[in-house]
Copies of this chain bind each other. A is one copy, B any other.
């Protein structure tokens, strides 16, 4: 079974057919057409869809995904080395995401201790709201 209908691609990639058409309209996946004008997908498109969804979870927009996919060779099916190259770049992003959430969690823990959310300018430690004086984003969660 060398080719997939849009329904099969949808089912096996876990995204809606409407989404696949949408992706295709944005050039993120490709298909050939049957004589009856129906889409047929190569197996390798499955990987593109998987890549797109994974990339979104890493925080890329579809434009960024398109940019990344544009660096794939055209004319041949991407090899594992190709996919490897693309997804390797995500590692630091994921690390960073985890770091940020952990930081938030930590701060939350610290702040739960005092019961407030004002962090740097916590009212318990900073009753006069001193941070206001030096105008630096007193309450901001991210510096």
What's the Cα separation between A53 and B104 when bound, in Å?
11
A17 within 8 A of B: no
Contact A140 B108 (CB under 8 A): no
Report whether A101 and B105 are in contact in the complex, using a CB–CB cutoff of 8 Å: no
B117 touches A51 (CB 8 A): yes
* B105 with A94: CB separation less than 8 A: yes
Q: Report A52-111 residues with CB < 8 Å from chain B CB.
A: 53-54, 57-58, 79-84, 87-88, 90-91, 94-95, 97-98, 101-102, 104-105, 108-109, 111
A118-135 vs B: 1/0 string, CB under 8 Å? Answer: 110000100001011001
What DSSP secondary structure best describes chain A's contact surface? helix
Contact present for B101 and A135 (CB under 8 Å): no
A87 and B54 in contact, given A94-B105, A98-B102 (Cβ under 8 angstroms): no
Q: Which residues of the other chain, B, contact A111 by a CB distance below 8 angstroms?
A: 87
List, in ascending order, chain B residues with CB within 8 A of A112's CB: 84, 87-88
The verdict on A115 contacting B79 (CB below 8 Å), with A43-B129, A132-B12, A139-B12 known, is yes
Instruction: Please tell me if the beta carbons of B108 and A101 are within 8 angstroms of each other in the complex.
Output: no
Give the distance in Å from the alpha carbon of A104 to the alpha carbon of B88 in the complex. 13
The minimal Cβ–Cβ distance linking A103 to chain B, given in whole angstroms, is 10
Residues of B within 8 A of A108 (CB): 54, 87, 90-91, 94
